[in-house]
Structure 1
Amino acid sequence: MEVPPVAKQPTAEKRQRRERGSINPDDIINGAFELAEDIGIDNLSMPLLGKHLGVGVTSIYWYFRKKDDLLNAMTDRALRQYVFATPYVEAADWRETLRNHARVMRKAFLGNPILCDLILIRSALSPRAAKLGVAAVEKAIESLAEAGLSPEDAFDTYSAVSLHVRGSVVLQRLYDKNQSTDCGPGYFEEAMVIDPETAPLLAKVSAEGHRIGASDEKNFEYGLDCILDHAARLIEESAAKPAQRRKTATPRRKAAADR
Protein backbone atom coordinates (compact mmCIF):
# COMPACT_ATOMS: atom_id res chain seq x y z
CA MET A 1 0.00 0.00 0.00
CA GLU A 2 1.44 3.35 -1.02
CA VAL A 3 1.77 5.89 1.78
CA PRO A 4 0.70 9.43 0.75
CA PRO A 5 3.41 12.06 1.08
CA VAL A 6 3.24 14.30 4.16
CA ALA A 7 3.19 18.05 3.57
CA LYS A 8 6.46 19.66 4.50
CA GLN A 9 6.18 21.74 7.66
CA PRO A 10 7.73 25.21 7.93
CA THR A 11 11.25 25.10 9.26
CA ALA A 12 13.77 27.72 10.21
CA GLU A 13 17.42 27.62 9.32
CA LYS A 14 19.38 27.00 12.50
CA ARG A 15 21.99 29.59 13.39
CA GLN A 16 24.97 29.28 15.69
CA ARG A 17 23.64 29.47 19.22
CA ARG A 18 23.98 32.85 20.90
CA GLU A 19 25.38 33.45 24.35
CA ARG A 20 22.82 33.76 27.11
CA GLY A 21 21.52 37.32 27.49
CA SER A 22 22.93 38.48 24.14
CA ILE A 23 19.54 39.12 22.50
CA ASN A 24 17.20 42.11 22.86
CA PRO A 25 13.65 42.95 21.69
CA ASP A 26 14.86 44.64 18.49
CA ASP A 27 16.87 41.54 17.55
CA ILE A 28 13.79 39.41 18.11
CA ILE A 29 11.53 41.66 16.02
CA ASN A 30 14.12 41.81 13.23
CA GLY A 31 14.41 38.04 13.27
CA ALA A 32 10.63 37.66 13.23
CA PHE A 33 10.39 39.77 10.08
CA GLU A 34 13.18 37.76 8.45
CA LEU A 35 11.50 34.46 9.28
CA ALA A 36 8.04 35.70 8.26
CA GLU A 37 9.44 36.57 4.83
CA ASP A 38 10.22 32.87 4.37
CA ILE A 39 7.31 31.11 6.07
CA GLY A 40 4.59 33.77 6.44
CA ILE A 41 2.89 35.26 9.48
CA ASP A 42 0.48 32.32 9.87
CA ASN A 43 3.32 29.83 10.30
CA LEU A 44 5.49 32.00 12.54
CA SER A 45 5.99 30.43 15.98
CA MET A 46 8.18 31.06 19.00
CA PRO A 47 10.10 27.74 18.71
CA LEU A 48 10.82 28.36 15.01
CA LEU A 49 11.89 31.93 15.78
CA GLY A 50 14.19 30.70 18.56
CA LYS A 51 15.80 28.27 16.13
CA HIS A 52 16.14 31.00 13.52
CA LEU A 53 17.82 33.34 16.01
CA GLY A 54 19.94 30.66 17.65
CA VAL A 55 18.48 31.15 21.13
CA GLY A 56 16.32 29.14 23.47
CA VAL A 57 12.63 29.88 23.21
CA THR A 58 12.61 31.09 26.84
CA SER A 59 14.83 34.00 25.77
CA ILE A 60 12.02 35.16 23.49
CA TYR A 61 9.31 34.63 26.11
CA TRP A 62 11.30 36.84 28.47
CA TYR A 63 10.37 39.84 26.25
CA PHE A 64 7.21 38.60 24.52
CA ARG A 65 4.97 36.40 26.65
CA LYS A 66 2.89 35.18 23.70
CA LYS A 67 2.84 35.33 19.92
CA ASP A 68 0.24 38.10 19.87
CA ASP A 69 2.59 40.36 21.87
CA LEU A 70 5.30 39.78 19.27
CA LEU A 71 2.87 40.41 16.39
CA ASN A 72 1.75 43.66 18.04
CA ALA A 73 5.37 44.82 18.22
CA MET A 74 5.88 43.88 14.57
CA THR A 75 2.70 45.75 13.63
CA ASP A 76 3.86 48.88 15.49
CA ARG A 77 7.08 48.92 13.49
CA ALA A 78 5.38 48.11 10.18
CA LEU A 79 2.75 50.81 10.65
CA ARG A 80 5.36 53.46 11.48
CA GLN A 81 7.27 52.65 8.31
CA TYR A 82 4.04 52.57 6.30
CA VAL A 83 2.75 55.93 7.59
CA PHE A 84 6.04 57.68 6.95
CA ALA A 85 6.16 56.30 3.40
CA THR A 86 2.58 57.37 2.55
CA PRO A 87 2.32 60.86 0.96
CA TYR A 88 0.08 63.49 2.53
CA VAL A 89 -3.18 64.71 1.03
CA GLU A 90 -2.85 68.43 0.21
CA ALA A 91 -5.86 70.76 0.12
CA ALA A 92 -4.57 72.84 -2.81
CA ASP A 93 -4.39 69.80 -5.09
CA TRP A 94 -6.66 67.43 -3.21
CA ARG A 95 -7.72 65.24 -6.14
CA GLU A 96 -4.27 64.31 -7.43
CA THR A 97 -2.68 64.05 -3.97
CA LEU A 98 -5.52 61.83 -2.72
CA ARG A 99 -5.18 59.69 -5.85
CA ASN A 100 -1.42 59.43 -5.29
CA HIS A 101 -2.02 58.66 -1.61
CA ALA A 102 -4.30 55.76 -2.58
CA ARG A 103 -1.94 54.41 -5.22
CA VAL A 104 1.09 54.50 -2.91
CA MET A 105 -0.94 52.86 -0.12
CA ARG A 106 -1.98 50.05 -2.44
CA LYS A 107 1.50 49.62 -3.86
CA ALA A 108 3.04 49.44 -0.37
CA PHE A 109 0.68 46.67 0.75
CA LEU A 110 0.88 44.71 -2.51
CA GLY A 111 4.66 44.88 -2.43
CA ASN A 112 4.91 43.66 1.16
CA PRO A 113 2.71 40.67 2.05
CA ILE A 114 3.92 40.81 5.68
CA LEU A 115 2.67 44.40 5.96
CA CYS A 116 -0.66 43.33 4.48
CA ASP A 117 -1.03 40.36 6.84
CA LEU A 118 -0.12 42.37 9.93
CA ILE A 119 -2.19 45.52 9.32
CA LEU A 120 -5.06 44.54 7.03
CA ILE A 121 -5.77 40.85 7.55
CA ARG A 122 -4.81 40.50 11.20
CA SER A 123 -6.43 43.89 11.97
CA ALA A 124 -5.24 43.99 15.56
CA LEU A 125 -3.45 47.23 16.44
CA SER A 126 -1.79 48.07 19.72
CA PRO A 127 -2.84 51.38 21.36
CA ARG A 128 0.40 52.96 20.13
CA ALA A 129 -0.18 51.88 16.53
CA ALA A 130 -3.84 52.91 16.65
CA LYS A 131 -2.88 56.39 17.87
CA LEU A 132 -0.42 56.76 15.00
CA GLY A 133 -3.11 55.71 12.52
CA VAL A 134 -5.60 58.23 13.92
CA ALA A 135 -3.11 61.09 13.48
CA ALA A 136 -2.57 60.20 9.81
CA VAL A 137 -6.31 59.94 9.07
CA GLU A 138 -7.01 63.23 10.88
CA LYS A 139 -4.46 65.01 8.68
CA ALA A 140 -6.05 63.64 5.49
CA ILE A 141 -9.60 64.57 6.55
CA GLU A 142 -8.44 68.05 7.59
CA SER A 143 -6.97 68.64 4.12
CA LEU A 144 -10.14 67.43 2.37
CA ALA A 145 -12.26 69.73 4.55
CA GLU A 146 -9.95 72.63 3.71
CA ALA A 147 -10.45 71.80 0.01
CA GLY A 148 -14.18 72.42 0.39
CA LEU A 149 -15.81 69.26 1.70
CA SER A 150 -17.87 69.29 4.87
CA PRO A 151 -16.22 67.38 7.74
CA GLU A 152 -18.77 64.59 7.22
CA ASP A 153 -18.13 64.37 3.46
CA ALA A 154 -14.36 64.60 4.01
CA PHE A 155 -14.58 61.67 6.42
CA ASP A 156 -16.78 59.62 4.08
CA THR A 157 -14.52 60.34 1.09
CA TYR A 158 -11.34 59.28 2.86
CA SER A 159 -13.11 56.27 4.37
CA ALA A 160 -14.29 55.18 0.91
CA VAL A 161 -10.78 55.51 -0.54
CA SER A 162 -9.28 53.60 2.38
CA LEU A 163 -11.89 50.85 2.08
CA HIS A 164 -11.33 50.66 -1.69
CA VAL A 165 -7.57 50.29 -1.26
CA ARG A 166 -7.81 47.75 1.55
CA GLY A 167 -10.44 45.66 -0.21
CA SER A 168 -8.37 45.57 -3.38
CA VAL A 169 -5.22 44.56 -1.51
CA VAL A 170 -6.84 41.91 0.69
CA LEU A 171 -8.60 40.36 -2.31
CA GLN A 172 -5.28 40.13 -4.14
CA ARG A 173 -3.54 38.71 -1.07
CA LEU A 174 -6.20 36.02 -0.63
CA TYR A 175 -5.96 35.23 -4.33
CA ASP A 176 -2.18 34.79 -4.02
CA LYS A 177 -2.61 32.53 -0.98
CA ASN A 178 -5.16 30.38 -2.81
CA GLN A 179 -2.89 30.05 -5.82
CA SER A 180 0.03 28.95 -3.64
CA THR A 181 -2.06 26.21 -2.00
CA ASP A 182 -3.77 24.95 -5.19
CA CYS A 183 -7.21 25.85 -3.87
CA GLY A 184 -8.54 26.53 -7.35
CA PRO A 185 -9.79 29.81 -8.83
CA GLY A 186 -9.10 32.80 -6.67
CA TYR A 187 -11.33 35.32 -8.44
CA PHE A 188 -15.05 35.07 -9.04
CA GLU A 189 -14.47 35.59 -12.76
CA GLU A 190 -12.12 32.61 -13.02
CA ALA A 191 -14.87 30.25 -11.88
CA MET A 192 -17.31 31.60 -14.48
CA VAL A 193 -17.90 29.90 -17.81
CA ILE A 194 -18.81 32.66 -20.26
CA ASP A 195 -20.77 31.47 -23.27
CA PRO A 196 -20.86 34.14 -26.03
CA GLU A 197 -24.27 32.83 -27.13
CA THR A 198 -25.96 33.43 -23.78
CA ALA A 199 -23.75 36.25 -22.42
CA PRO A 200 -22.54 38.26 -25.44
CA LEU A 201 -21.78 41.44 -23.47
CA LEU A 202 -19.74 39.58 -20.87
CA ALA A 203 -17.85 37.76 -23.60
CA LYS A 204 -17.12 41.01 -25.46
CA VAL A 205 -15.77 43.02 -22.51
CA SER A 206 -13.86 40.02 -21.12
CA ALA A 207 -12.12 39.64 -24.47
CA GLU A 208 -11.12 43.32 -24.21
CA GLY A 209 -9.35 42.72 -20.89
CA HIS A 210 -12.09 43.69 -18.43
CA ARG A 211 -12.35 41.40 -15.40
CA ILE A 212 -15.16 41.01 -12.86
CA GLY A 213 -14.20 41.09 -9.19
CA ALA A 214 -10.46 41.19 -9.87
CA SER A 215 -8.20 43.57 -7.97
CA ASP A 216 -6.32 44.64 -11.09
CA GLU A 217 -5.25 48.15 -12.09
CA LYS A 218 -8.25 48.74 -14.37
CA ASN A 219 -10.83 47.96 -11.68
CA PHE A 220 -8.88 49.81 -9.00
CA GLU A 221 -8.54 52.99 -11.05
CA TYR A 222 -12.18 52.91 -12.14
CA GLY A 223 -13.40 52.65 -8.55
CA LEU A 224 -10.99 55.37 -7.41
CA ASP A 225 -12.21 57.70 -10.18
CA CYS A 226 -15.82 57.16 -9.08
CA ILE A 227 -14.98 58.20 -5.50
CA LEU A 228 -12.97 61.24 -6.62
CA ASP A 229 -15.65 62.35 -9.10
CA HIS A 230 -18.29 62.19 -6.37
CA ALA A 231 -16.12 64.24 -4.00
CA ALA A 232 -15.54 66.84 -6.74
CA ARG A 233 -19.31 67.19 -7.27
CA LEU A 234 -19.81 67.69 -3.54
CA ILE A 235 -17.19 70.46 -3.51
CA GLU A 236 -18.82 72.15 -6.52
CA GLU A 237 -22.26 71.97 -4.90
CA SER A 238 -20.90 73.39 -1.65
CA ALA A 239 -19.22 76.28 -3.50
CA ALA A 240 -22.43 77.04 -5.43
CA LYS A 241 -24.64 77.33 -2.34
CA PRO A 242 -23.31 80.73 -1.08
CA ALA A 243 -23.66 82.20 -4.58
CA GLN A 244 -27.23 80.91 -4.80
CA ARG A 245 -28.04 82.41 -1.41
CA ARG A 246 -26.66 85.79 -2.51
CA LYS A 247 -28.80 85.68 -5.66
CA THR A 248 -32.02 85.03 -3.80
CA ALA A 249 -31.21 87.62 -1.13
CA THR A 250 -30.61 90.54 -3.54
CA PRO A 251 -34.22 90.95 -4.83
CA ARG A 252 -35.50 90.91 -1.27
CA ARG A 253 -33.16 93.69 -0.20
CA LYS A 254 -34.16 95.74 -3.32
CA ALA A 255 -37.88 95.28 -2.60
CA ALA A 256 -37.36 96.39 1.00
CA ALA A 257 -35.53 99.54 -0.18
CA ASP A 258 -38.37 100.41 -2.62
CA ARG A 259 -40.88 100.28 0.17
Structure 2
Amino acid sequence: MARQATAEKRQRRERGSINPDDIINGAFELAEQVGIDNLSMPLLGKHLGVGVTSIYWYFRKKDELLNAMTDRALRQYVFATPYVEARDWRETLRNHARTMRKTFVGNPILCDLILIRSALSPRAAKLGVQEVEKAIASLVEAGLSPEEAFDTYSAVSVHVRGSVVLQRLREKNMAANEGPADIEDTMTIDAESTPLLALVTEKGHHIGAADERNFEFGLECILGHAERLIEAHKKGAKKTAPRKR
Protein backbone atom coordinates (compact mmCIF):
# COMPACT_ATOMS: atom_id res chain seq x y z
CA MET A 1 0.00 0.00 0.00
CA ALA A 2 1.15 3.57 -0.62
CA ARG A 3 2.61 5.45 2.29
CA GLN A 4 0.30 7.93 3.95
CA ALA A 5 1.27 11.57 3.73
CA THR A 6 2.03 12.13 7.40
CA ALA A 7 4.91 13.77 9.20
CA GLU A 8 6.18 13.55 12.73
CA LYS A 9 5.55 16.79 14.60
CA ARG A 10 8.60 18.47 16.09
CA GLN A 11 8.89 21.05 18.83
CA ARG A 12 7.90 24.39 17.32
CA ARG A 13 10.78 26.68 16.38
CA GLU A 14 11.03 30.32 17.24
CA ARG A 15 9.91 32.74 14.53
CA GLY A 16 12.74 33.56 12.10
CA SER A 17 14.91 30.64 13.23
CA ILE A 18 14.73 28.76 9.91
CA ASN A 19 16.59 29.37 6.64
CA PRO A 20 16.35 28.01 3.07
CA ASP A 21 18.93 25.26 3.68
CA ASP A 22 16.98 24.04 6.71
CA ILE A 23 13.82 23.93 4.62
CA ILE A 24 15.48 22.01 1.76
CA ASN A 25 17.07 19.56 4.20
CA GLY A 26 13.71 19.02 5.87
CA ALA A 27 12.02 18.57 2.50
CA PHE A 28 14.43 15.75 1.61
CA GLU A 29 13.82 14.13 5.01
CA LEU A 30 10.07 14.34 4.56
CA ALA A 31 10.22 13.12 0.95
CA GLU A 32 11.97 9.98 2.20
CA GLN A 33 8.92 9.33 4.38
CA VAL A 34 6.03 10.29 2.09
CA GLY A 35 7.50 10.61 -1.41
CA ILE A 36 7.77 13.61 -3.73
CA ASP A 37 4.16 13.30 -4.90
CA ASN A 38 2.79 13.63 -1.37
CA LEU A 39 5.17 16.34 -0.22
CA SER A 40 3.26 19.51 0.71
CA MET A 41 4.02 22.82 2.39
CA PRO A 42 1.72 22.19 5.40
CA LEU A 43 3.26 18.75 5.96
CA LEU A 44 6.73 20.23 5.69
CA GLY A 45 5.87 22.94 8.20
CA LYS A 46 4.70 20.28 10.63
CA HIS A 47 7.85 18.24 10.00
CA LEU A 48 10.08 21.25 10.65
CA GLY A 49 8.07 22.59 13.56
CA VAL A 50 7.34 25.95 11.91
CA GLY A 51 4.29 27.71 10.58
CA VAL A 52 3.74 27.22 6.86
CA THR A 53 4.13 30.98 6.32
CA SER A 54 7.79 30.64 7.35
CA ILE A 55 8.29 28.32 4.39
CA TYR A 56 6.36 30.55 1.98
CA TRP A 57 8.65 33.43 2.96
CA TYR A 58 11.46 31.66 1.05
CA PHE A 59 9.52 29.43 -1.38
CA ARG A 60 6.26 30.91 -2.64
CA LYS A 61 5.00 27.60 -4.04
CA LYS A 62 5.85 23.93 -4.06
CA ASP A 63 7.45 24.10 -7.52
CA GLU A 64 10.03 26.60 -6.26
CA LEU A 65 10.93 24.25 -3.41
CA LEU A 66 11.15 21.29 -5.80
CA ASN A 67 13.41 23.32 -8.10
CA ALA A 68 15.77 23.98 -5.20
CA MET A 69 15.72 20.31 -4.24
CA THR A 70 16.41 19.32 -7.85
CA ASP A 71 19.35 21.73 -8.08
CA ARG A 72 20.93 20.17 -5.02
CA ALA A 73 20.17 16.62 -6.17
CA LEU A 74 21.72 17.28 -9.58
CA ARG A 75 24.93 18.64 -8.06
CA GLN A 76 25.23 15.53 -5.86
CA TYR A 77 24.47 13.27 -8.82
CA VAL A 78 27.08 14.90 -11.08
CA PHE A 79 29.69 14.64 -8.34
CA ALA A 80 28.99 10.92 -7.89
CA THR A 81 29.06 10.02 -11.60
CA PRO A 82 32.46 8.94 -13.04
CA TYR A 83 33.93 10.65 -16.10
CA VAL A 84 34.23 9.19 -19.59
CA GLU A 85 37.90 8.96 -20.59
CA ALA A 86 39.13 8.80 -24.19
CA ARG A 87 41.97 6.32 -23.62
CA ASP A 88 39.57 3.68 -22.27
CA TRP A 89 36.30 5.03 -23.61
CA ARG A 90 34.31 1.78 -23.76
CA GLU A 91 35.00 0.69 -20.19
CA THR A 92 34.60 4.19 -18.71
CA LEU A 93 31.38 4.87 -20.66
CA ARG A 94 30.05 1.50 -19.52
CA ASN A 95 30.98 2.35 -15.92
CA HIS A 96 29.43 5.81 -16.34
CA ALA A 97 26.13 4.28 -17.50
CA ARG A 98 26.07 1.62 -14.80
CA THR A 99 26.78 4.17 -12.09
CA MET A 100 24.05 6.48 -13.39
CA ARG A 101 21.54 3.65 -13.27
CA LYS A 102 22.67 2.41 -9.87
CA THR A 103 22.51 5.94 -8.41
CA PHE A 104 18.97 6.59 -9.64
CA VAL A 105 17.63 3.12 -8.81
CA GLY A 106 19.09 3.37 -5.30
CA ASN A 107 17.59 6.83 -4.67
CA PRO A 108 13.90 7.13 -5.66
CA ILE A 109 13.83 10.79 -4.59
CA LEU A 110 16.68 11.56 -6.99
CA CYS A 111 14.85 9.71 -9.76
CA ASP A 112 11.57 11.55 -9.14
CA LEU A 113 13.26 14.96 -9.07
CA ILE A 114 15.71 14.69 -11.97
CA LEU A 115 14.18 12.12 -14.33
CA ILE A 116 10.42 12.12 -13.82
CA ARG A 117 9.90 15.75 -12.88
CA SER A 118 12.66 17.03 -15.21
CA ALA A 119 12.38 20.72 -14.22
CA LEU A 120 15.79 22.36 -13.80
CA SER A 121 16.81 25.90 -12.97
CA PRO A 122 19.12 27.65 -15.49
CA ARG A 123 22.09 27.09 -13.16
CA ALA A 124 21.45 23.37 -12.79
CA ALA A 125 20.74 22.96 -16.50
CA LYS A 126 24.08 24.62 -17.32
CA LEU A 127 25.86 22.22 -14.97
CA GLY A 128 24.27 19.26 -16.70
CA VAL A 129 25.21 20.53 -20.16
CA GLN A 130 28.85 21.03 -19.12
CA GLU A 131 29.08 17.41 -17.97
CA VAL A 132 27.61 16.16 -21.25
CA GLU A 133 30.10 18.32 -23.17
CA LYS A 134 33.00 16.64 -21.34
CA ALA A 135 31.70 13.16 -22.15
CA ILE A 136 31.19 13.98 -25.84
CA ALA A 137 34.67 15.56 -26.06
CA SER A 138 36.19 12.34 -24.72
CA LEU A 139 34.31 10.25 -27.29
CA VAL A 140 35.50 12.56 -30.09
CA GLU A 141 39.06 12.17 -28.84
CA ALA A 142 38.53 8.39 -28.89
CA GLY A 143 37.76 8.54 -32.61
CA LEU A 144 34.09 9.33 -33.16
CA SER A 145 32.88 12.34 -35.14
CA PRO A 146 31.11 15.03 -33.08
CA GLU A 147 27.75 13.83 -34.45
CA GLU A 148 28.51 10.18 -33.66
CA ALA A 149 29.79 11.07 -30.18
CA PHE A 150 26.64 13.07 -29.49
CA ASP A 151 24.36 10.29 -30.73
CA THR A 152 26.28 7.65 -28.75
CA TYR A 153 26.13 9.53 -25.48
CA SER A 154 22.51 10.50 -26.08
CA ALA A 155 21.59 6.85 -26.72
CA VAL A 156 23.31 5.76 -23.51
CA SER A 157 21.57 8.52 -21.54
CA VAL A 158 18.14 7.64 -22.94
CA HIS A 159 18.77 3.95 -22.27
CA VAL A 160 19.73 4.60 -18.65
CA ARG A 161 16.89 7.03 -17.97
CA GLY A 162 14.31 4.85 -19.69
CA SER A 163 15.39 1.81 -17.69
CA VAL A 164 15.28 3.68 -14.39
CA VAL A 165 11.96 5.42 -15.02
CA LEU A 166 10.28 2.17 -16.08
CA GLN A 167 11.51 0.51 -12.91
CA ARG A 168 10.40 3.46 -10.79
CA LEU A 169 6.93 3.52 -12.35
CA ARG A 170 6.68 -0.23 -11.75
CA GLU A 171 7.46 0.34 -8.07
CA LYS A 172 4.86 3.11 -7.87
CA ASN A 173 2.20 0.95 -9.51
CA MET A 174 2.94 -1.94 -7.18
CA ALA A 175 2.82 0.35 -4.13
CA ALA A 176 -0.50 1.81 -5.23
CA ASN A 177 -1.76 -1.56 -6.49
CA GLU A 178 -2.59 0.05 -9.83
CA GLY A 179 -2.26 -1.94 -13.06
CA PRO A 180 0.18 -4.67 -14.13
CA ALA A 181 3.80 -4.49 -13.00
CA ASP A 182 5.31 -5.56 -16.35
CA ILE A 183 4.28 -6.19 -19.95
CA GLU A 184 4.52 -9.91 -19.24
CA ASP A 185 1.73 -9.59 -16.68
CA THR A 186 -0.67 -8.76 -19.52
CA MET A 187 0.50 -11.60 -21.77
CA THR A 188 -0.45 -15.28 -21.88
CA ILE A 189 2.68 -17.35 -22.55
CA ASP A 190 2.44 -21.12 -22.92
CA ALA A 191 4.60 -23.77 -24.58
CA GLU A 192 1.94 -24.73 -27.13
CA SER A 193 1.05 -21.39 -28.68
CA THR A 194 4.31 -19.47 -28.01
CA PRO A 195 7.07 -22.08 -27.64
CA LEU A 196 10.01 -19.70 -28.09
CA LEU A 197 8.68 -17.19 -25.59
CA ALA A 198 7.97 -19.96 -23.11
CA LEU A 199 11.46 -21.41 -23.55
CA VAL A 200 13.25 -18.11 -23.02
CA THR A 201 11.12 -16.76 -20.17
CA GLU A 202 11.57 -20.04 -18.28
CA LYS A 203 15.30 -19.27 -18.31
CA GLY A 204 14.74 -15.96 -16.52
CA HIS A 205 14.41 -13.56 -19.45
CA HIS A 206 11.69 -10.91 -19.23
CA ILE A 207 9.93 -9.01 -22.02
CA GLY A 208 10.08 -5.23 -21.67
CA ALA A 209 11.28 -5.39 -18.07
CA ALA A 210 13.76 -2.79 -16.83
CA ASP A 211 15.94 -5.48 -15.27
CA GLU A 212 19.70 -5.90 -15.21
CA ARG A 213 19.80 -8.38 -18.11
CA ASN A 214 17.87 -6.14 -20.51
CA PHE A 215 19.83 -3.07 -19.43
CA GLU A 216 23.21 -4.73 -20.01
CA PHE A 217 22.18 -6.13 -23.39
CA GLY A 218 21.02 -2.73 -24.65
CA LEU A 219 24.12 -1.00 -23.29
CA GLU A 220 26.47 -3.44 -25.02
CA CYS A 221 24.61 -2.94 -28.32
CA ILE A 222 25.21 0.82 -28.13
CA LEU A 223 28.87 0.42 -27.16
CA GLY A 224 29.44 -2.18 -29.87
CA HIS A 225 28.00 0.14 -32.53
CA ALA A 226 30.26 2.99 -31.38
CA GLU A 227 33.31 0.71 -31.47
CA ARG A 228 32.52 -0.34 -35.05
CA LEU A 229 32.30 3.32 -36.05
CA ILE A 230 35.71 4.04 -34.52
CA GLU A 231 37.25 1.03 -36.28
CA ALA A 232 35.74 2.16 -39.59
CA HIS A 233 37.31 5.61 -39.16
CA LYS A 234 40.71 4.02 -38.45
CA LYS A 235 40.51 1.87 -41.59
CA GLY A 236 39.44 4.86 -43.66
CA ALA A 237 42.35 6.90 -42.34
CA LYS A 238 44.81 4.14 -43.29
CA LYS A 239 43.46 3.96 -46.85
CA THR A 240 43.72 7.72 -47.37
CA ALA A 241 47.12 8.12 -45.68
CA PRO A 242 49.85 9.22 -48.18
CA ARG A 243 52.33 6.51 -49.11
CA LYS A 244 55.95 6.90 -48.12
CA ARG A 245 58.40 7.28 -50.99
Report the TM range for the smaller structure's normalisation. over 0.9
Q: Which amino acid aligns with 1:102?
A: A
Identify the residue that residue 184 of structure 1 maps to in structure 2: 179
**Maintained 8 Å contact 2:7/2:30:** yes
Identify the residue that residue 28 of structure 2 maps to in structure 1: 33
> Is 2:103 the counterpart of 1:100?
no
Identify the residue that residue 131 of structure 1 maps to in structure 2: 126
Q: Which amino acid aligns with 2:176?
A: T
> Is 2:58 the counterpart of 1:71?
no
Q: Which amino acid aligns with 1:227?
A: I
Identify the residue that residue 201 of structure 1 maps to in structure 2: 196
For residue 184 of structure 1, report the CA deviation from its aligned partner: 3.4
1:12-27 to structure 2, matched below 5 A, reads 12-27=7-22
SS of 1:110's equivalent?
Answer: helix
Identify the residue that residue 80 of structure 2 maps to in structure 1: 85
Moved more, 184-193 or 61-70: 184-193
Cα distance change, pair 8–109 in 1 and its aligned pair in 2 (3 A): closer
SS of 1:171's equivalent?
Answer: helix
Identify the residue that residue 146 of structure 2 maps to in structure 1: 151
Q: Give the Cα separation in 2 of the matches to 1:212 and 1:20.
A: 55
> Is 2:153 the counterpart of 1:141?
no
In structure 1, stretches of 5+ residues that fail to align are: 1-6, 255-259
Match of 1:50 among 23, 45, 55: 45
Q: Give the Cα separation in 1 of the matches to 2:237 and 2:226.
A: 18
Q: Which amino acid aligns with 1:125?
A: L
> Which fold has the larger relative contact order, with Cα–Cα distance below 8 Å and residues 6 or more apart in sequence?
2
Q: Give the Cα separation in 2 of the matches to 1:102 and 1:70.
A: 29
Q: Give the Cα separation in 2 of the matches to 1:140 and 1:27.
A: 34
Q: Which amino acid aligns with 1:147?
A: A
Q: Give the Cα separation in 2 of the matches to 1:181 and 1:98.
A: 36
Identify the residue that residue 109 of structure 2 maps to in structure 1: 114
> Is 2:159 the counterpart of 1:164?
yes
**Maintained 8 Å contact 2:4/2:34:** no
In structure 2, stretches of 5+ residues that fail to align are: none
CA RMSD, Structure 1 to Structure 2 (Å): 1.5
**Maintained 8 Å contact 2:3/2:34:** no
Q: Give the Cα separation in 2 of the matches to 1:234 and 1:26.
A: 47
Deviation above 3 Å: which 4+ runs of structure 1?
none
Q: Which amino acid aligns with 2:216?
A: E
For residue 9 of structure 1, report the CA deviation from its aligned partner: 4.7
Q: Give the Cα separation in 2 of the matches to 1:138 and 1:226.
A: 23
For residue 192 of structure 1, report the CA deviation from its aligned partner: 1.0
Q: Give the Cα separation in 2 of the matches to 1:14 and 1:245.
A: 73
For residue 189 of structure 1, report the CA deviation from its aligned partner: 1.2
SS of 2:118's equivalent?
Answer: coil
For residue 133 of structure 1, report the CA deviation from its aligned partner: 0.1
Identify the residue that residue 4 of structure 1 maps to in structure 2: none
Give the total of aligned pairs. 244
Moved more, 9-18 or 115-124: 9-18
Identify the residue that residue 221 of structure 2 maps to in structure 1: 226
- Structure index of larger Rg: 1
Show CA shifts across 1:81-134 (max 9, x none): 000000000000000000000000000000000000000000111111101100
Q: Give the Cα separation in 1 of the matches to 2:240 and 2:234.
A: 11
Q: Give the Cα separation in 2 of the matches to 1:194 and 1:161.
A: 31
